[in-house]
């Protein structure tokens, strides 16, 4: 199959891209890993494609004060290799190793993954785990959205047809925090049947900050709030990860699809949460994020 005819425009700035989007049926194209297959099968037939690959400012990974800002055109492979992210947010590189296959990691973009909003994708989970802020620009304003505001339903986000996701901003993690990520898929490179990430800060033998995020088990990324509340403030020595991981299933209503049943996804959650919590705690104790 080949795509239906379309008009192609290449933007060299965000303002120019926003101008090109002033059309009844326009779509942004960056990595094209989701849009192009849909166009080839005629599931999507936009009249205009706005290519943003020439917008240099969207390709940067930078520090803004204590925050880390990742441009929407950063490729998954670039995030995996970034020395800055390895030093400041190493859980991102750990998660990127699970993204699809080499060709897709080399071409797919951070912004594309976030806007596509697959509940099993790694980037939405990372935004939820790291308290990230998604930056969206439109013709009238710039908006800053947390994960719970941006992700509405599977493949549905709070971004207008005349807006562009330009970056995601991550605040500095707590001092000495340990982080970890893991997922289970049918084959390496497939979307996860379930995924989990953890961030743990320990001070004086007490858990001061704990975050656990889940993917593949809801309409979008999910925070395991019951587990977080239970463990925060507890002495590490009094915590049995094996006994407590089941709390991560509280309130979950995963779907059944051709990849896994809801029951199997619920079985995977405490297994993955136990793994990432143990790893994150060990890294926090060892001074390695």
Instruction: Report if pTM > 0.75.
Output: yes
Query: Would you say 119 and 128 are in contact if contact means Cβ atoms under 8 Å apart?
Result: no
In this prediction, residue 288 carries a pLDDT of 63
Could you tell me which of 118, 30, 115, 33 has the C-alpha nearest to residue 74?
30
DSSP per-residue string spanning 61-95: EEEETTEEEEETT-BHHHHHH-HHHHHH-HHHHHH
In this prediction, residue 258 carries a pLDDT of 87
The string of pLDDT tens digits covering residues 25-67 is: 999 999 999 999 999 999 999 999 999 999 999 999 999 999 9
Can you list the domains of the chain with their CATH numbers? Answer: 7-51 (3.30.43.10), 64-170 (3.30.465.10), 178-286 (3.30.390.50)
In this prediction, residue 284 carries a pLDDT of 95
The string of pLDDT tens digits covering residues 178-196 is: 999 999 999 988 989 999 9
In this prediction, residue 156 carries a pLDDT of 97
Residue position matching structure tokens 């047809």: 161
pLDDT under 70: residue ranges of the chain:
287-289
């Amino acid at each position: 199959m080949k795509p239906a005819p379309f008009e192609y425009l290449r933007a060299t700035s965000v303002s120019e891209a926003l101008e090109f989007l002033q059309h009844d049926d326009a779509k942004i194209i960056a990595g094209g890993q989701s849009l192009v297959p849909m166009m080839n099968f005629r599931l999507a037939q936009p009249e205009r494609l706005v290519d943003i690959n020439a917008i240099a400012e969207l390709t940067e990974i930078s520090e803004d004060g204590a925050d880390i800002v990742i441009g929407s055109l950063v490729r998954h492979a670039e995030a995996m290799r970034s020395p800055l992210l390895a030093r400041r947010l190493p859980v991102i590189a750990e998660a990127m190793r699970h993204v699809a296959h080499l060709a897709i990691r080399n071409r797919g973009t951070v912004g594309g993954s976030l806007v596509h909003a697959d509940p099993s994708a790694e980037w939405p989970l990372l935004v939820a785990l790291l308290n990230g802020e998604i930056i969206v620009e439109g013709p009238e304003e710039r908006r800053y959205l947390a994960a719970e505001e941006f992700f509405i339903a599977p493949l549905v986000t709070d971004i207008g047809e005349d807006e562009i996701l330009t970056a995601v901003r991550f605040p500095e993690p707590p001092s000495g925090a340990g982080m970890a990520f893991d997922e289970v898929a049918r084959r390496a490179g497939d979307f996860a049947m379930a995924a989990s990430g953890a961030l743990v800060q320990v001070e004086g033998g007490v858990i001061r900050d704990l975050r656990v995020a889940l993917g593949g088990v809801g309409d979008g990324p999910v925070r395991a709030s019951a587990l977080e509340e239970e463990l925060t403030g507890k002495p590490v020595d009094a915590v049995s990860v094996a006994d407590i991981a089941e709390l991560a299933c509280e309130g979950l209503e995963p779907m059944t699809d051709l990849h896994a049943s809801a029951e199997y996804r619920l079985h995977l959650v405490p297994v993955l949460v136990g793994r990432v919590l143990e790893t994150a705690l060990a890294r926090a104790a060892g001074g390695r994020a």
